[in-house]
Amino acid sequence: MSITHQDAAAARTPERAAAPAGAACHALRVRLTAGAAADGPDAVAARLTALTAGTGPSAGFPARLWTERVPCGADAPAARRWRDRELGRPLPVHRDAPVRAVLLQYADGATDLVVVADRAALDTTALHAFTARLLGAEQDTALTARTAATSPPAEPGPGGPVEQPDWGLGRPHGPDTPVTRVLPLPAGHPETDAESWATALGVVLARYEGVTRPALALLAPGTGAPGRPVVPAPVAADGGSTLGTVDKELRAALAAGPDGTATTAAVGLVLADRDLSAGLPGADHAEYRPFQQPPFPVTVTVTRDATGGRALRCDHSARTLSDAVADQLLRHVSQVHRTLAEAPDTLVADARPWDEEEAARLAAHRRSAPLPPFTPRRIDTAVAEIAAARPDAVAVRCEDTRLTYGELDRRADRLAHALRALGVGDRDRVGVCLERSAEMIVVLLAVLKAGATYVPMDPAYPEDRLAYTTSDAGLTTVLTDRADFPGGTDTRVLTPAALEDLAPERCDGPPPSAAGADDPAYVIYTSGSTGRPKGCVVPHVNVLSLMAATTGDFGLGADDTWTLFHSSAFDFSVWEIWGCLLTGGRLVVVPYWVSRSPEDFHRLLREERVTVLSQTPSAFAHLVEVERDGADPAPVRLVVFGGEGLDPRMLLPWFDRHPETACRVVNMYGITETTVHVTAQTVTRAEALTASKSVGHALPGWWVRVADPDGRPLPAGVAGEIYVGGAGVAAHYLNKPELTEQRFLTDVRTGERLYRSGDKGRLLPDGRLEHLGRLDSQVKLRGFRIELDEIRSVLLDDPQVTAAAVVLNRTDPDDAATAQLDAYVVMDGDDTASVRQRATRFLPEYMVPSTVTALERMPLTTNGKLDTRRLPRPAAAPAPAAPAAPAATPAAAQAESAAAQADTFEQVLLEVWREVLGVPVGPDDNFFDLGGNSLLAMRVGAALRRRGGHTVAMRDLYLRPTIRQLAADRAG
Amino acid sequence: MRLQGKTVVVTGAARGVGRACALAFSREGADLALLDVCGDVDGVPYPLGTVSQLDHTARLCREQGAAVLTATADVRDGAALRAAVDATLDRFGAVDVLVNNAGIVAPSGRTTHEITEDEWQVMLDINLSGAWRMISLVGPHMVARRSGSIVNVASTAGLVGYRHFAGYTASKHGLIGLTRATALDYAPLKVRVNALCPGSIRDDSAVEGRMLTEIARSLELPVGEHEQTFVQSQPMNALIEPEDVAGAALWLASDESRQVTGSVLTVDGGFTIR
């Protein structure tokens, strides 16, 4: 016999009780005067029996008076717990008892009467009247018997899931602990009716949520029919209205009664600011609890204690609000309420939610430590000082090349003279389009020594982008090895070797120059989400400030070895090159083919004993994988993340091998327009485990502010646009005065320059910044606002998934209806269905990706950021055979089994290239001519590894790009 | 406090393990409904709990801060139990924990075929059916709230046989069977049911326990000699204290054991290891 019919058993059991009763009940406690108490419990019990069991309108639910002998005096600390427990004790589910009366008889003779009632049966007025009758009042009560017809759904939001506020800074994965925060109101706080508080809360929410009609729920026990305690209150709090107008509108809405729509508001106000001690015979004082369980996810209540003191109280789960944000909410509501009462003509836009004290604290938070003192000078001057002090120290390593500081300085001096000879003058812009090499470093330094500004370009950029940069920057001289550089007639294009030929045999220092620390050092072009790339002009002094801000904290110095991993066209390289050379370190140039091969790069880190590693998180994920596959840990002591947002959970396997005491990991938020970095957050295992998005405090000398679209500062927790000020703010955009005016602003109060980033962020209560992506990373799908980063975060929570990307695609570009979310993951195993299945548990249906495609690796741009354009077609999309089929498709599996039969290296390679490139392949075809690139080369490597056969080193592929050459090399 | 805001019903609460449980629960913030037969039962050859003892338990619990409701109810009397449970719900609004502790150890001391029909009936009716009656009254309420913990105080006699204790052994084996089947019924409904199997408990004067004495009397042995036998049979070389059982019951009652159901937890100094 098998008795495991659990489902059947569940189906036969009684219905689950409706709502937890606590939200539907309220309670009143009355301290009896000595005279009333002397009557004894019997008198009260008799009235209770008469009230509830007699005939007439008050009959219907016979109730018993409970008495409890409290073993301590009424003033003893333990007595509070007895009272709280009695006030909070719910009425039983499934027993038709709408009221409970309890006498608490304290050891010192004091007596409390506690009446708990179902709000649907007794509203506030009726509860008060009922209690009065128990105490011997003669007037009739409004008590009515509860029947099915008047029994209401007392819980708010039957219409759907209640939204959680996104400004709460709660811990969504932490324990669901109920929290109460209380803000006592000062004695002088204006006395108003309860509705004014609703107006104040509405105005604050409008500010927090960046909307004019915030969803606000109200529980007004004294107003409306007892059956409908919850009404949504539409408040039109646009900036142009006065507080008084908003208040009038809200009152009109309340008077009109509930509009029948179910509220899904997360934040609600309980109007309970009534003094219920009046009219109770024999009452010394009274205490009213408008609810036993808070009726809303965030419940704000105006309370009045036994002595008449008022307080604002916030009840919520620790998952929803942090303590600091709850306290802040109460402060802001109180402040706006005061303004409403004292100056109702104040415009909503002008109603500051904080007082002077908080404003000062906010200002102090966003202003970081002062920049350590340093001598403003040109970058090349500072490097020359190091060269003079330590001429024999190694400055640059690149494969077999080694340059000491002395050699670097002398060679750059000579090339600077050559540039001068070509007519390059102070503040002229010189294009540099070179692969990473020791020579490139010399050239960059030479341009600076010539008093000029370097404009880096990546040799891998397409021709039209190079041509655009050349013409936009007005480059008269470009140094490049690229023979087909689109120079035009006005531009002199020459190789570094040709420049070398023009250089004097010897020279005594750099050519004379009038350019100074405030003159531009470089112009880096950044692409925005719209429009053409724009050149950002950054002065020398900004770079020196950056090093002054970081050198001490990071302990940077002559013992450090840095990598130059990134393209000089990406400003992360500014940090790598000048960060190293301005602190006397040794710079190891990472050749392109090594930067694309995580295994080779990891080997380089070990062989060169690199101590300071700067990476984008996407690129770093590959390194972590290499170590996970068994490589010995690299001896790095500092890892600096930049370039894109970091999900610190990816660092857990790194920390397993590199304890925080041995290697510091710093996540830095930065923008080209503010000189590489703005903030720094040291990431520990604790941050990684909580998936913290904090990018830390601003660097000394930098500062950040988060503001709403009108530029008004926002309180902690509330997301808005990040503004950056201080030592890093760039000069301007080249030739773009209008854009410069829009983005580079001047603070009207302080006269300081600041940059408006277009990035979304929020400040934490301790002043750290959370970076939440681009303001425009929000997409709309079938009317839903979707944060792609939110979906990505859920995918990353899956223990199988190590990297994830989500994009909004249209299978038919002209048809919005074909839009769908496609996810790409790097994962252990290939069970993408389970990844999607798991996501359905955490995301609303419209946010669940339609497809999940497993990739060997995420494709990266030349800057090391995720390259969404090179993501393959989604795995499950109804599409023709994809040219770059993802690894886990049936087609790929078929190809694998066919290839298993191929018995020679050449045949395997032919198969794999065909599979990866999606075109017919011959033995003499050049991999790169067939459309191959570094990502596809990685995929070739992965496919070869999966076949368990010989792999081809990345470098070999670059040196011998045809199958015949590779085979010959292996045979030889 | 581990049971803050919870309501616990304990049967057989006048003395012994029932009193020890009530005290442990009140220390952890629970409010209590304490039930006891408060009087002797025909066929049970020793005095059972009294009103005075139950009130004493209640007083001790109040001193520790608990609100307490007491009720005189025989676990064989369905109507009395129902009145007690209804009053508990009206007073406290909910029942979070039920401790089925009421039980008798004698009439015992005979070979199986010598047990009379009445002796067999009273043993099963109190020790096994009594627990079932309480579950059938409190269970629906817990199921409706999708929350609750039921602790059935069985015995090592629910796991092994004791010579000349066939009725007691059968009732405690039955109680473990009841525990397991009910745990399955209630698991999808988030109500947990577990059994505790204490070994030989010292007759502690503070809680006025007398089980060991009654077992010795059933076997017609001097109490001291009988105690010595049990101490030797429990590998930890000590008798079980009532608060040892209460500690285990507290854990099963609290949310700390929220994934524990259908378990049979021994508190027997290792008696059942071999």
Q: What is the pLDDT of residues A422-438, one digit of tens each?
A: 999 999 999 999 999 99
Can you give the pLDDT at residue A957? 80
Q: Which of B31, B65, B187 lies closest to A6 in CB terms?
A: B187
Element containing residue A969 per DSSP (H, E): helix A963-971
Distance from CA of A722 to the nearest CA of B (A): 44
Q: Which chain A residues are closer than 8 Å to B142 by Cβ? A: none
Of the candidates A601, A605, A612, the one whose C-alpha atom is nearest the C-alpha of residue A579 is: A612
Range B34-60 average pLDDT = 96
Least confident of A234-243, A333-342, A809-818, A871-880: A871-880
Q: Is the pLDDT of residue A483 over 80?
A: yes
DSSP readout, A512-553? P----TTSEEEEEEE--SSSS-EEEEEEHHHHHHHHHHHHHH
Q: Which of A652-666, A825-839, A900-914 has the highest mean pLDDT?
A: A652-666
Residue A147 has what pLDDT? Answer: 32
Do B94 and A85 lie within an 8 Å CB cutoff? no
Which of A93, A118, A177, A292 to mutate: most B Cβ within 10 Å?
A: A93
pLDDT at position A82 is 95
B90–A64 CB contact, under 8 Å: yes
- What pLDDT does residue A841 have? 75
Token pair 């077999």 in the structure block, residue: A400
Q: What is the pLDDT of residue A898?
A: 43
CB contact under 8 A, B188 and A6: yes
Report the range of poorest mean pLDDT among A43-57, A681-695, A755-769, A913-927: A43-57
Flag whether pLDDT at A62 surpasses 70.
no
Mean pLDDT of all residues in A87-98: 81
Question: Using a CB-CB distance cutoff of 8 angstroms, which residues of chain B are in contact with residue A107?
Answer: none
The mean pLDDT value for A783-800 works out to 78
- Yes or no, beta carbons of A100 and B187 under 8 Å apart: no
Top residue of A16, A64, A105, A106 to mutate, by most chain B CBs within 10 Å, is A16
Question: Which range, A28-42, A276-290, A314-328, is most confident?
Answer: A314-328
Question: For this structure, is B168 an active site residue?
Answer: yes
Residues of chain A in Cβ contact (below 8 Å) with chain B? 3-4, 6-7, 9-10, 13-17, 21, 63-64, 66, 68-69, 71, 78, 81-82, 85-86, 88-95, 97, 100
Stated as kind and residue range, the H or E segment containing B144 is: helix B130-145
- Measure in Å the smallest separation between the Cα of B192 and chain A Cα atoms: 14
The stretch A746-773 carries a mean pLDDT of 90
Look at A304-308, A485-489, A914-918, A962-966 and tell me which has the smallest mean pLDDT: A304-308
pLDDT band at A807 (very low <50, low <70, confident <90, very high): confident
B27: confidence class by pLDDT, cuts 50, 70, 90: very high
pLDDT in the model for residue B75:
98
- The mean per-residue pLDDT over the stretch A742-768 comes to 90
Residue B155: predicted pLDDT: 97
Q: Which of B46, B162, B168, B186 is labelled catalytic?
A: B168
Contact B188 A7 (CB under 8 A): yes
Tokens encoding A31: 């301290």
State which amino acid sits at residue A751.
G
Tokens matching residue A424: 């390059």
Our CA-based measurement puts residue B178 at a distance from the nearest CA of chain A, in whole angstroms, of: 14
Q: Can you give the pLDDT at residue A490? A: 87
| More confident call, A743 vs A355 | A743
Residue linked to tokens 């049971």: B3
Which residues on A lie below 8 Å from B187 (Cβ)?
A: 6
E strand or H helix at A881: none
CB nearest to A95's CB, from B5, B89, B189: B89
Residues in chain B closer than 8 A to A63 (CB atoms)? 90
Q: How distant is the Cα of A784 from the closest Cα of chain B, in angstroms?
A: 35
Which of the residue ranges A576-590, A653-667, A746-760, B131-145 would you say has the lowest mean pLDDT? A746-760
Residues 6+ apart with CB under 8 A from A727: A371, A541, A542, A545, A546, A549, A675, A701, A702
**At residue B47, does pLDDT exceed 80?**
yes
Q: Flag if A82 and B181 touch (Cβ within 8 Å).
A: no
Closest approach of chain A CAs to the CA of B161, in angstroms?
26
- Kindly list the distances between the CA atom of residue A449 and the CA atoms of A444, A452, A511, A568, A804, in Å, as whole numbers in the listed order: 9, 7, 7, 18, 44
Min Cα–Cα distance to chain B from A67, Å:
10
Q: Token match 């009732």: residue?
A: B171
- Asked if B92 and A89 come within 8 Å (Cβ–Cβ), the reply is yes
Which residues have CB under 8 Å from B156's CB, separation 6+?
B197, B198, B199, B266, B268, B271, B272
Rounded percentage of chain A residues whose pLDDT exceeds 70? 83
Domains by residue range for chain A, with CATH: 24-145 (3.30.559.10), 178-353 (3.30.559.30), 371-399+406-507+519-538 (3.40.50.980), 777-870 (3.30.300.30), 890-971 (1.10.1200.10)
Q: Minimum mean pLDDT among A615-624, A688-697, A962-971, B111-120: which range? A: A962-971
Average pLDDT on B112-136 reads 98
* Mean pLDDT, range A4-16, rounded to an integer: 41
Using a CB–CB cutoff of 8 Å, tell me whether B60 touches chain A. Answer: no
- Shortest Cα distance, chain A CAs vs residue B191, angstroms: 12
Q: What is the model's pTM?
A: 0.77
B258 and chain A in contact, CB less than 8 A = no
Q: What is the 3-state secondary structure (H, E, C) of A264-299?
A: CCCEEEECCCCCCCCCCCCEEEEEEECCCCCCCCEE
Range of lowest pLDDT (A939-953, B104-118, B234-248): A939-953
pLDDT band at A745 (very low <50, low <70, confident <90, very high): very high
Cα A780 to Cα A771, A835, A866, A938: the distances in Å are 21, 23, 21, 34
Any CB–CB contact under 8 A between B1 and chain A?
no
Number of A:B CB contacts under 8 A? 65
> Closest by alpha carbon to B57, among B91, B97, B26, B94?
B26
pLDDT reading at A20 higher than 70: no
Provide the pLDDT for residue A477. 96
Mean pLDDT of the A325-349 span = 94
Which of A935-949, B162-176, B219-233 is predicted least confidently? A935-949
Of B94, B181, B185, which is closest to A92 when you measure between CB atoms? B94
CA terminus-to-terminus distance, chain B:
37
pLDDT on residue A876: 56
Inspect the interface and report whether the beta carbons of B67 and A68 lie closer than 8 Å.
Answer: yes
Looking at per-residue pLDDT, the higher value among A738 and A880 belongs to A738
In angstroms, the CA B153 to CA B120 distance is 20
Candidates B91, B92, B24; CA nearest to B64 is B24
Contacts of B184 in chain A (CB under 8 A): 3-4, 6, 9
Residue A929 has pLDDT above 80, yes or no: no
Which of B5, B87, B188 lies nearest to residue A9, judging by beta carbons? B188
Q: What is the pLDDT of residue B213?
A: 92
Q: Which residues of B touch A9 (CB under 8 A)?
A: 184-185, 188
Tell me the average pLDDT of chain A.
83
How far is B165 from B218, CA to CA, in rounded Å?
A: 9
- What pLDDT is attached to residue A251? 82
Q: By C-alpha distance, which of B227, B249, B246 is closest to B238?
A: B227
Query: Comparing C-alpha atoms, which of A686, A766, A721 is closest to residue A362?
Result: A766
The residues pairing with A801 across neighbouring beta strands, listed in sequence order, are A827
- Cβ distance B140 to A14 less than 8 Å, yes or no, reads yes
Report whether pLDDT(A55) > 60: no
Residue A507 has pLDDT above 80, yes or no: yes
Residue B138 pLDDT > 50, yes or no? yes
**B63 interaction partners in chain A (CB closer than 8 Å):** 71
User: For residue A64, which residues of chain B lie inside 8 Å, CB to CB?
Assistant: 87, 90
Residue with tokens 């029994």: A151
Residues of B in contact with A104 (CB under 8 A): none
A100/B90 touch (CB, cutoff 8 Å), yes or no? yes
Q: CA-CA distance, B14 to B56, in Å (whole number)?
A: 8
Residues of chain B found within 8 Å of residue A85, distances taken between Cβ atoms: 5, 31, 67
Which domains does chain B carry?
A: 7-257 (3.40.50.720)
Q: Are A680 and A550 in contact (CB under 8 A)?
A: yes
Residue A601 has pLDDT above 50, yes or no: yes
Question: Which 141-170 residues of chain B touch chain A by CB within 8 A?
Answer: 141, 143-146
User: Is A93 in contact with B145 (Cβ distance < 8 A)?
Assistant: yes
> What pLDDT digit, counting tens, does each position of A236-245 carry?
667 678 999 9
Nearest-neighbour CA in chain A from B202: distance (Å) = 31
B-chain CB neighbours of A10 within 8 Å are: 188-189
A366 vs A915, higher pLDDT? A915
Question: What is the model's pLDDT at position A10?
Answer: 39
